A and B are shown apart, each in its own frame.
Chain A
Amino acid sequence: MQKMDSVVSQSHGKPVRWSKKTRHNFWLGMAFLAPWSIGFLLFTMYPMGASLIYSFSEYHLRAPLKWIGLTNYINLFQDKLFYTALGNTAYMVVIGVPLTLLLSFFCAILLNLKVPGQSIYRVIYYLPSIVPTIASTMLWLWILNPSSGLMNTLLGLFGIQGPNWLKDPLWAKPSLILLALWGMGGTIIIYLSGLQDVPLSLIEAAQLDGASWWQRLIHITIPMVSPITLFNLITGVIGMFQYFAQAYVFGNTAGSIGSPLNSTLFYSVYLYQTGFLFLKMGYASAMAWILFFIILGCTILLFRVSNRYTYYSG
């Protein structure tokens, strides 16, 4: 509506001229936005441009930049470790994320039951998620310690010989998924709030029609929380592609970065190793850009696919 009284076409030069009020608002807005705009130019725009240039260059710290075109990208696609890292990350995205969502939803259902002392249970389920990442990683490294750890002791009580969680490349990623599950409280809370938003009238109507608990779950609850599932899925997938701290500490404790046998060499870990330990900054920048496009692609794909399965009550 502001455009209506302010748009005046001119025959030469500037096509649009703003009214005094619009101009005033524009500069006022820009002034209030200054912190973000300056920050964007300095900490996002400039580094993005630089990173793009690095990705086409050979760049070691303290040696001049050398333009090498697409070489970094070509080399990446022939790099075995790149595929290892991609595979490890895919494992976490394909197994870890859906498992977390499924179990979070299950926990949210439990926490939504009318049971005495429920508020205490909610706190218990949530608290692990606010334990600092490194502290919880250390804790789980200790719990999964093969000889004096709690996990294998408890498994032993049931007559199960626990695996060597930290040193066995087959079990390293399940260990990390376990750690992620312990800290899924945030996702549970988001699901719980979604469950509480499901209109009671719908459930009561279904109950009157004789729908069982299971039928209500499948036909009402799950469709009603589907936008939340989509949200959790997308944030979960994006987060998993950038998975770093836990894997870094895990690998370091098991031996060195990526231990055992590169089974915890995730994409971001390999990127860090390439850029900051091997100082191949150009190569690492190329990896970062590929990561960007993978994440972008996954997000678009999830949105596309979800259109069919997500219910919006408007």
Chain B
Amino acid sequence: MGQSALSKPLSAEEFERLHLRQHQWAQIRRTFTQLLSHLLILLVGLFFLIPFLWMLITSFKSDRDVFRTPPTWLPYDNVTVKIQGQELLLYHVQIEGETKELALLKVAEGLGDFVDPQNPEMVYSQVRMRFAEPILKVGLRWRNYIDAMSRATRPGLGVNFWTYFKNSLIIAFFTIIGTLLSNSPVAYAFARINFPGRQAFFIFVLATMMLPYQVTMIPLYLFFNETLHWGDSFLPLIVPAFFANAYDVFLLRQFFKTIPEELADAARVDGASELDIFLRIMLPLSVPVLATVTVFTFLYAWNDFQGPLLYLTSPQNFTMSLGLQDFKGQRIVAWNLLMAASVVFTVPIIIAFFFAQRTFIQGIKLTGLKE
């Protein structure tokens, strides 16, 4: 390969050097582009990642920490001390020009009572709180999660975030059951039963996707609330799931069509009814797509805001979507607790994602594109 007889022959050595240099150059260029693209991916990734981290960090911050300007990256927690079995917050208190490390006993109208941890007999009462600065250390304030979940933000009703969590779970569970039960027979009919008008019927079902829900929203609201008296219950949110919908019918039908017909034919020869074939052959073979439907229905029900906003009126029945608003006070928002509750709201979905990553991606593609 070295000795090509061109007009200006290169010595073998020279050629080797040139070739090597070219090779190195290409190598460097490739490494550089690789590095650059990697950097770009990382940089754009920060846009997706940082808000996530910010949610977590905020959820571990103390109340005071949250409103610091500029905000701190790390969460700080109050330093506490145990005096006579009571957990008290430590403060740096300025008294007569001296800074003392004292524990707060109680506070009222800007005046606080402090006690010296070294000498519990020594109580300083009626100290102005503006002379007291809480002592903080870097730390995760797990207490926020307990507070966010169990603190009754609506006193007197016995309602807390656990109630909302439970309600969301109940609604999601029954919505999933309804969706699985109602959509699969419909999809089966479109995939396998050769009834007259099937094609037109199917197009008609798909066409209903075009209808924005705002068109049916008002009459449905009146129907559920005034006619059936289902207002302030989970029924308006759950019952429609038992009557199939175009998206899931489409998704399931696409999958059912990929299952070989021969299996069903063999069963037919053995005298199996269509219902037998559907239940004993089709469904067991369709576990992956049923999983996709389950995951996406869960996401939908867990996420839903407008449905609960319309139908659920008393806090006992709120879902998490509605309940998150509780952390918003008249003037200030308890951002640390709100973020802790948001994490709790998000975690089940993240868990579902990591267990069913494939199912997620498959579902997006199936609903999106594949014919």
Contact = CB atoms under 8 A, between A and B. Distances in A.
Interface of A: 2-3, 18, 22, 25-26, 28-30, 32-36, 38-40, 42-44, 46-48, 50-51, 54, 61, 107, 110-111, 113, 115-116, 118, 121, 123-125, 127-128, 130-135, 138-140, 142-143, 145, 147-150, 153, 156, 181-182, 185-186, 189-190, 193-194, 227-228, 231, 238, 241-242, 244-245, 248-249, 252-253, 268, 271-272, 275-276, 281, 284-285, 287-289, 291-292, 295-296, 299
B12 interface: no
9 contacts: A22-B195, A35-B242, A47-B220, A107-B44, A115-B34, A134-B345, A147-B67, A148-B69, A292-B214
A132 B216 contact: no
A288 B71 contact: no
A244 B50 contact: no
B41 A132 contact: no
B210 interface: yes
Given A54-B218, A134-B321, A140-B51, A28 B345 contact: no
Interface of B: 34, 37-38, 40-42, 44-45, 47-52, 54-55, 58, 66-71, 181-183, 185-186, 188-189, 193-196, 198, 201, 205, 208, 210-223, 240, 242-245, 249, 274, 278, 299, 302-303, 305-306, 309-310, 320-321, 324-325, 328, 333, 335, 338-339, 342, 345-346, 349-350, 353, 357, 360-361, 364-365, 368-369
Given A54-B219, A115-B41, A288-B218, A28 B195 contact: yes
B274 to A, nearest CB: 6
Nearest to A252: B325
B21 to A, nearest CB: 22
B66 A150 contact: no
Nearest to A49: B219
A227 to B, nearest CB: 8
B219 A133 contact: no
Contact of B223 (A29, A47, A181): A47
Contacts of B51: 128, 139-140, 143, 150, 182
A2 B365 CA distance: 34
Contacts of B325: 249, 252
Nearest to B65: A148
Interface of B (DSSP majority class):
helix
A150 B310 contact: no
B211 A28 contact: no
B219 A47 contact: yes
Counting chain A CB atoms within 10 Å of each CB, the highest count among B37, B38, B67, B196 belongs to: B196
Contacts of B48: 124-125, 127-128, 182, 185
A46 B71 contact: no
B107 to A, nearest CB: 23
Contact of A36 (B47, B50, B249): B249
Given A110-B37, A111-B41, A245-B305, A39 B321 contact: no
Given A22-B196, A132-B303, A133-B303, A275 B182 contact: no
A39 B339 contact: no
Contacts of A150: 50-51, 54, 71
Of all A-B residue pairs in the complex, the 4 with the closest CB atoms, nearest first, are A39-B243, A29-B195, A32-B189, A50-B219
A189 B361 contact: yes
Given A30-B195, A189-B361, A40 B208 contact: yes
Given A25-B195, A143-B54, A245-B306, 6 more contacts: A47-B218, A125-B45, A127-B48, A241-B212, A268-B214, A281-B218
A132 B215 contact: no
Nearest to B278: A32
A51 B215 contact: yes
Contacts of B218: 47, 51, 54, 275, 281, 284-285, 288
A127 B346 CA distance: 10
A275 B364 contact: no
B40 A110 contact: yes
A25 B212 contact: no
Given A33-B186, A284-B218, A135 B346 contact: yes
Contact of B189 (A29, A182, A288): A29
A32 B185 contact: yes
A43 B186 contact: no
B368 A190 contact: yes
Given A139-B339, A245-B306, A291 B215 contact: yes
Contacts of B193: 25, 28-29, 32
A271 B214 contact: yes
B15 to A, nearest CB: 24
A139 B364 contact: no
A130 to B, nearest CB: 5
Contacts of B69: 147-148
